[in-house]
Structure 1
Amino acid sequence: MELEVVIEKRFYRCREQKVWTENAFPYAFWLRYLSVFSTLTIIARVHEVNEPQSQWQQVTGEGVELVALPGYVGPTQFLRALPKTLSILRKRRNRAGRTLYRVPGILSWLHQLIVRPSRGSYAVEVVGDPADTFAKGASSGALRPVIKAVFTSLLRYQCRHAGAVSYVTRAALQQRYPPGQQAYHTHYSSICLHDDDYKKVSTYTISRPPQLLCIGNLSQPYKGCDTMLQALQLFQQQRHTVQLTWVGGGSLQLYYEALAEKLGVAHMVTFMGNVACRARIRQLIDACDLFVLPSRQEGLPRVLIEAMARSRLCVATQVGGVPELLPADRIVARDDPAGLMRCIQASLAMSAGEQLAEANGHYQRAQDYHDSQLQQRRVALYHTLRQLA
């Protein structure tokens, strides 16, 4: 049986008609669905490029194909691409198979309107919260409150009428976007951690200066890079030296590099851009003393779990499922540079024994997200979707 997955991710297609991703969702990711379904069709935005960059990975392969919707960024380009998008979706009507929406997102809603899978016959994987995405500070624009209200209402509708629902959190997203009374529901992350992704340490030593690490795409402001840079400025004003590495590129990278210069902290931060190699990501995590997640919006942050799996001290903002991962004294309000600085200082000021105990506590907590455990719940949802009337 065929599965159709609608996702908001933007992919790239080169002149050879191969489809690529700059970071997430390579071909290996989609194999989890083929454990139950015979073929998979991805429906997503695709941008045309002359050739892929060296670190990009292919998306499609045996059993996995892609239907390319017009690539767009922002509301103006979305409106221009809308007629062609609707035309492509109309051709998907009356196709045999099952539908799964990775939500939130406008494409899943358009697909639901045009292709019209009946109530209770589709599944959703809830991987984020539009209430956080369109919160004040996380996005801008005069229509932000309206967009927030519309997207949260759409997500509630999709969850309420789906036959099967998965959430990346254990409880947080379920409370805001509950499933229908008759729906099958479960929880699992998109993360894929195997034995080599875990590392338990026997000692914990802080470098001089302490090495901080952030991982987040810089295409949108909700990763909180500005908050992190403002926290660095506060460190500098108190004559405390730390060094930050930010992994993740995007259209706003040059803006944040200029902001670092303006704040006088450019010498304290290194912007690495995108890093696609998993082994290299593990090396960067291992080399840091403290992993920091200053986001304004998350579902269940995979990078935070990856850092926990490597026995790193972690600090994060109060977003999404973060309280399900870290103790309250390692969580700060979003958009609070001073609070973020104090929380980082508290982690670095612990004794070596306290740091080791906390780091290995993170390691133990991350065991719950080993792929062998998550895949069991994923497969259960896939089987439920396949059997829906």
Structure 2
Amino acid sequence: MSKTSSKGRVLYLVMDGDFARRQGVPSSNRNHFAIFGSRYTQVFDQVHIMCRVHDVEDERTLPVGGRGVDVIALPPVHGWRGLLRYGPHIVKAFLDIPRDAVVLLRVPGIYPILAWLILALRRQPYGVEAMADADAQFTPGAYQRRFRSFYRLAWTRMMKLQCRHAAASSYVTMNALQSQFPPGAGRPSFSYTTLDLPEQALVRRPRSRSSFEKPELILVNVAMMQKHLKGQDLIIRAVARLVQSGLRTKLWLVGDGDTRGEFERLAAELGVAEHVEFLGRVQAGAEVFALLDQADIFVLPSRQEGLPRVVIEAMARALPCFASALPGNHELLDAPFLVRVNDEEDWVLKLRDALRRADFLAQASQANLAAARRFTVGRIQPIRNRFYETLSACSA
């Protein structure tokens, strides 16, 4: 039997990410309290974040919980075997969500799907934060396991239903995800980035032409290394071809995950291990900004995105940016900086041209810095608050 919530406005946030622990406490380097959980406390008195928590200590992370925010740890499983094993525990966790609580699903993801099925069965209102394209998650190259076509069809269909039947919805894009996963007719919908970008994160001036006139330019990528969604394999292959053609460049890969070893082996096999540096997981904020400031060009060869936070961060540091031509990236970058999805050859052509044109890169630096200003948290948080207020009213 489900419970009722305590006094005050209570939010249950269901997401499909992965948290580690720091001194036993759920923690993260990208979604810790200061830049994630605290945003919801501007409207809600208590926030319960339901997410995978791994029993792995990571001193590089920061606590997810804080004042008014705690974590309900879900089993750290991926795949059907783990879900079947821990099924009763998972179902009970979602059944224990009070009927009078506000529920927000960050989609796509398997845990938001399971929570949604239970909410639908008991006809409980919910909201969605649409973060990425469920269809692109299972395209060739992004997902290389069995049953890809089935998962692609099922995930896409369920995300469409989740968005259509949500009492209120928000999207990280202005139009891209809305066109694929539209909200229900007449239902309130909002648009905002999930990034918390402080005004002081924007550099004071763009990069000069002379800053790109040096013997060796550094490309940087910041992304998780789970499966092949972020396309690190593509950019490693492209850099190998650039180096083999005589261009002097280096690639910094920031991030970690299950496929890091595979990418390290790929760089070695292609003979570019000394040109590709794996920097591991880096704390969001100042540490990431410091690396971006030392690099020359940001690259994001993803096979799936919503509106990538890290591109906005790179723009705020006045970096020229190249990214896959996914729908959300069209809202950030102009055509010359968009690369065909899953196309190694196009990456080689675009980067080869850019590395030889300091004036082109300087112009991109100026344009990106100007564009990043519209994503500062001072402009975004009021929109988020209106969404949270609307969802709370719809759930009453």
Query: TM-score category by the smaller chain?
Result: over 0.9
Whether the aligned pair in 2 keeps the contact of 1:120 and 1:161 (CA below 8 Å) is no
Which among 148, 155, 161 is matched to residue 157 of structure 1?
161
Please state if 1:85 is matched with 2:104: no
For the residue of structure 1 that corresponds to 2:229, the secondary structure is helix
Residue matched to 1:282: 289
Please state if 1:4 is matched with 2:12: yes
The one-letter code of the counterpart of 2:367 is G
For the residue of structure 1 that corresponds to 2:243, the secondary structure is helix
How far apart, CA to CA, are the structure 2 residues paired with 1:154 and 1:202? 44
Instruction: Give how far 1:120 is off.
Output: 8.0
For the residue of structure 2 that corresponds to 1:222, the secondary structure is coil
How far apart, CA to CA, are the structure 2 residues paired with 1:250 and 1:74? 16
For the residue of structure 2 that corresponds to 1:153, the secondary structure is helix
For the residue of structure 1 that corresponds to 2:220, the secondary structure is strand
Instruction: Give how far 1:43 is off.
Output: 1.0
Structure 1 residues not aligned, in runs of 5+: none
Which among 358, 374, 377 is matched to residue 371 of structure 1?
377
Q: Alignment identity in percent?
A: 33
Please list, as runs of the form range in 1=range in 2, the aligned pairs for 1:204-215 lying within 5 A after superposition: 204=209, 205-206=211-212, 207-215=214-222
Which among 68, 73, 89 is matched to residue 68 of structure 1?
73
For the residue of structure 1 that corresponds to 2:206, the secondary structure is coil
Whether the aligned pair in 2 keeps the contact of 1:99 and 1:117 (CA below 8 Å) is no
Residue matched to 1:331: 338
The one-letter code of the counterpart of 2:17 is K
Please list, as runs of the form range in 1=range in 2, the aligned pairs for 1:97-176 lying within 5 A after superposition: 97-116=101-120, 121-176=125-180
Instruction: Give how far 1:62 is off.
Output: 1.7
Q: Deviations over 1:278-336 (max 9, x none)?
A: 21211111111111111111111111111111111111111240011111111111221
For the residue of structure 2 that corresponds to 1:169, the secondary structure is coil
How far apart, CA to CA, are the structure 2 residues paired with 1:139 and 1:110? 21
How far apart, CA to CA, are the structure 1 residues paired with 2:164 and 2:96? 26
Residue matched to 1:361: 367
Whether the aligned pair in 1 keeps the contact of 2:107 and 2:131 (CA below 8 Å) is yes
Structure 2 residues not aligned, in runs of 5+: 1-8
Please state if 1:273 is matched with 2:249: no
Q: 1:275 to 1:17 in 2, by over 3 A?
A: closer
Whether the aligned pair in 2 keeps the contact of 1:124 and 1:159 (CA below 8 Å) is yes
How far apart, CA to CA, are the structure 1 residues paired with 2:303 and 2:284? 26
Residue matched to 1:224: 231
Residue matched to 1:195: 199
Whether the aligned pair in 1 keeps the contact of 2:251 and 2:275 (CA below 8 Å) is yes
Alignment RMSD (CA, Å): 1.7
How far apart, CA to CA, are the structure 2 residues paired with 1:118 and 1:290? 50
For the residue of structure 1 that corresponds to 2:159, the secondary structure is helix
Which among 240, 243, 248 is matched to residue 241 of structure 1?
248
For the residue of structure 2 that corresponds to 1:99, the secondary structure is strand
Instruction: Give how far 1:212 is off.
Output: 0.7
Instruction: Give how far 1:116 is off.
Output: 4.3
Whether the aligned pair in 2 keeps the contact of 1:119 and 1:161 (CA below 8 Å) is no
Instruction: Give how far 1:113 is off.
Output: 2.2
Which among 339, 349, 353 is matched to residue 342 of structure 1?
349
Residue matched to 2:6: none
How many equivalent residue pairs?
Answer: 383
Please list, as runs of the form range in 1=range in 2, the aligned pairs for 1:35-74 lying within 5 A after superposition: 35-49=42-56, 52-74=57-79
Q: 1:53 to 1:12 in 2, by over 3 A?
A: closer
The one-letter code of the counterpart of 2:191 is H
TM-score, structure 2 length as denominator?
A: 0.93
How far apart, CA to CA, are the structure 2 residues paired with 1:323 and 1:7? 26
Residue matched to 2:5: none
Which among 375, 384, 389 is matched to residue 390 of structure 2?
384
Q: 1:202 to 1:316 in 2, by over 3 A?
A: closer
